[in-house]
Amino acid sequence: MKRQTNVWATLAFTALFTQMACTPTNLSKENVIPKPVSVVTTGESFDLTDQTDIYVQGESAGLLQIGQYLADKLNPSTGLAIGVKTTSEIPASGNIYLALSENDAELGDEGYELTITDKLVKVTANKPAGLFYGIQTIRQLLPSKVELATEQKGPWKIATGTIRDYPVYGYRGSMLDVARHFFGVEDVKNYIDQLATYKMNVLHLHLSDDQGWRIEIKSWPNLTAHGGKTEVGGGEGGFYTQDQYADIVKYAQDRFITIVPEIDMPGHTNAALASYPELNENGKATELYTGTEVGFSTLATKKEITYKFIDDVVRELAALTPGEYIHIGGDESHATKIEDYIPFINRVQDIVIANGKKVFGWDEIALSTLKPNTVVQYWAKAENAIKGVEQGAKVLMSPAVNAYLDMQYDSTSTYGLHWAAYIEVDKAYNWDPASLVPEIKKENIIGIEAPLWSETVSTRLEAEYLIFPRLLGYAEIGWTPAELRNWDDYKTRLASHGERMKAMNISFFPSKVVPWDTKDKK
Ligand code: TNX
């Protein structure tokens, strides 16, 4: 008898627990990454059903596109055939509503307010970007299986309450080195969607290096015809035609991501030097290079043709770039004398500005005279970044020891390098851009960027091993105020994203420092 009571009690408890588990009612317990600024829970739940549609305010093509992005994410897995419609009034019960609001100063250009009742899911924002980030949060409030490509069993419930959320930094980026190993258009687009999922807004493309030139320049066709032909290890390399590149830029724009193109100079230029003899000091073309050494190449900084070349490249690139910035590299120019390097960087800044763009460069460029609006990307030497701050420049934080996605997790990592550090998932998360270097203060910092150099990775899968799950931490550092972040809280949220990443087809590194949830509890 006693035993039977126990069995019934267990069954009843299990049923109740399952019911509770299926019905999320505590919004503040949801594992959103990046962590939102404020969450108020109201203890009920909203049900996504076959009656649900997404309504956008007014006849705006931009808002319809955002609504469609959400519908395209939800429909394959839920099978609910959620439609996207315009409306001039608040929609009926059971729907999702996206609307631009009156000026809500606290939210800024990228913030949003997400209000969920048992009747309506409503996102408001000052700008479309905010609505886009609001829908990324909605995705994460649904069970992980919502990210699968095939139809799954519901229910599809969301806990009720209000989230008000906005980023701490306006620049939240990653860099992809497509020069050491070439990554094709589809891989880049896939990465853009992954960045957007975590509310990142910049993809910096490292388009040229010793091993390859990856962007078609019509006035200097041999850059790609010859200089794009190989990569590290001797593979076939590749390049983007200008049409393909424009397609990437548009795809990114539609996801509120700016592409920052980089042409690295005066070092890291062997692919150009192999393609055009006149760019070399001695007038002789070099051989193509497929190794991984750095610091051996330089453009001929004293020849006029070099500046004609740079002006042509920058002009063509600027025409393809809606974003404000062009990155001129400037790192590791060990084969350029410092007395040649400084006037070179000064002159190249003028060329970029004359073509209507602002300049980004790695921290060494702070040795030159920075133009107004030039941004210094801190990767190696704090003293360089400080020189930038002293000249009034803003700093982009990419310290190699904390933020390099190509560093190994530990000594057993399959891919990656370790010249700067081993960067486990906790170390990648546990730092604050605004207190890393005392002389670089929050007001000097435009944001954070996590670069993936690709000497050791040549496929999407290999890249994902290094990028994930560390990218989620960098996304949170860029978005969430430092005082709301701590590793213990983050690691349990990250743990629940294991299933979500799997559902998104991301092959992440299963770090031992994260207590991965093996099943979706919802
Ligand atoms: C240093 S980071 C470099 C790159 C390499 C990277 C490998 C930087 C500005 N220069 O050329 O790919 O290390 O981690």
Ligand 1 centre distance from Cα of residue 124 (Å): 41
Domain finish residue from 149, 165, 181: 165
139 and 158 in contact (C-beta within 8 Å)? Answer: no
Establish if 421 belongs to a structural domain. Answer: yes
- Together in a domain, 209 and 266: yes
**Binding site membership of 309 for ligand 1 (Cβ less than 6 Å):** no
**Ligand 1, closest atom to CA 451?**
2
- Together in a domain, 294 and 395: yes
pLDDT for 1 = 42
- Together in a domain, 122 and 182: no
Ligand 1 centre distance from Cα of residue 186 (Å): 24
Establish if 10 belongs to a structural domain. Answer: no
Helices (H), 31-88: 61-78
3-state percent helix, strand, coil for the chain, nearest multiple of 5: 40, 20, 40
Establish if 499 belongs to a structural domain. Answer: no
Helices (H), 91-206: 128-141, 185-197
**Binding site membership of 294 for ligand 1 (Cβ less than 6 Å):** yes
Closest C-alpha to ligand 1, atom 11: 294
State the DSSP string of 392-460: T-EEEE--HHHH-TTB-SSTT-SS-B-SS----HHHHHS--GGGSSTTS-GGGEEEEEEEE--SS--SH
Domain finish residue from 145, 165, 185: 165
DSSP-assigned beta bridge partners for residue 41: 161
Sign of CA dihedral 51, 150, 198, 493: positive
Range of the domain at 51: 22-165
- Together in a domain, 181 and 110: no
CATH of the domain at 85: 3.30.379.10
**Ligand 1, closest atom to CA 268?**
11
pLDDT for 414 = 95
What's the domain count of the chain?
A: 2
- Together in a domain, 320 and 462: yes
Establish if 13 belongs to a structural domain. Answer: no
- Together in a domain, 141 and 260: no
Ligand 1 centre distance from Cα of residue 453 (Å): 7
- Together in a domain, 240 and 360: yes
The tens-digit pLDDT sequence of the chain (522 residues) is 445 555 555 555 554 444 455 689 999 999 999 999 999 999 999 999 999 999 999 989 999 999 999 999 999 999 999 999 999 999 999 999 999 997 899 999 999 999 999 999 999 999 999 999 999 999 999 999 999 999 999 999 999 999 999 999 999 999 999 999 999 999 999 999 999 999 999 999 999 999 999 999 999 999 999 999 999 999 999 999 999 999 999 999 999 999 999 999 999 999 999 999 999 999 999 999 999 999 999 999 999 999 999 999 999 999 999 999 999 999 999 999 999 999 999 999 999 999 999 999 999 999 999 999 999 999 999 999 999 999 999 999 999 999 999 999 999 999 999 999 999 999 999 999 999 999 999 999 999 999 999 999 999 999 999 999 999 999 999 999 999 999 999 999 999 999 999 999 999 999 999 999 866 454
Token pair in block for residue 331: 């790192």
Hey, how many other C-beta atoms are within 10 angstroms of the C-beta on 356? 13
**Ligand 1, closest atom to CA 332?**
10
Residues 6 or more apart from 356 whose CB is under 8 A from it? 318
Residues 6 or more apart from 438 whose CB is under 8 A from it? none
- Together in a domain, 68 and 205: no
Establish if 515 belongs to a structural domain. Answer: no
Ligand 1 centre distance from Cα of residue 484 (Å): 32
pLDDT for 177 = 98
pLDDT for 15 = 46
From the candidates 332, 364, 476, 499, which is the catalytic residue?
332
- Together in a domain, 194 and 332: yes
* Ligand 1 site-directed mutation target among 417, 453, 454, 466, most atoms within 8 Å of CB: 453
- Together in a domain, 51 and 118: yes
Closest C-alpha to ligand 1, atom 7: 453
Closest C-alpha to ligand 1, atom 2: 379
pLDDT for 39 = 98
Domain finish residue from 120, 149, 165: 165
Ligand 1 centre distance from Cα of residue 367 (Å): 18
- Whole-angstrom Cα distance, residue 104 to residue 189? 32
- Together in a domain, 147 and 180: no
Is 281 an annotated catalytic residue? no
Ligand 1 centre distance from Cα of residue 338 (Å): 19
pTM of the model: 0.95
Establish if 516 belongs to a structural domain. Answer: no
pLDDT for 517 = 85
- Together in a domain, 126 and 246: no
Establish if 510 belongs to a structural domain. Answer: no
pLDDT for 19 = 47
**Binding site membership of 331 for ligand 1 (Cβ less than 6 Å):** yes
Closest C-alpha to ligand 1, atom 10: 331
CATH of the domain at 333: 3.20.20.80
Helices (H), 158-294: 185-197, 222-225, 242-253, 270-275
Establish if 227 belongs to a structural domain. Answer: yes
**Binding site membership of 364 for ligand 1 (Cβ less than 6 Å):** no
Q: What is the pLDDT of residues 49-107, one digit of tens each?
A: 999 999 999 989 999 999 999 999 999 999 999 999 999 999 999 999 999 997 899 99
pLDDT for 102 = 79
**Binding site membership of 362 for ligand 1 (Cβ less than 6 Å):** yes
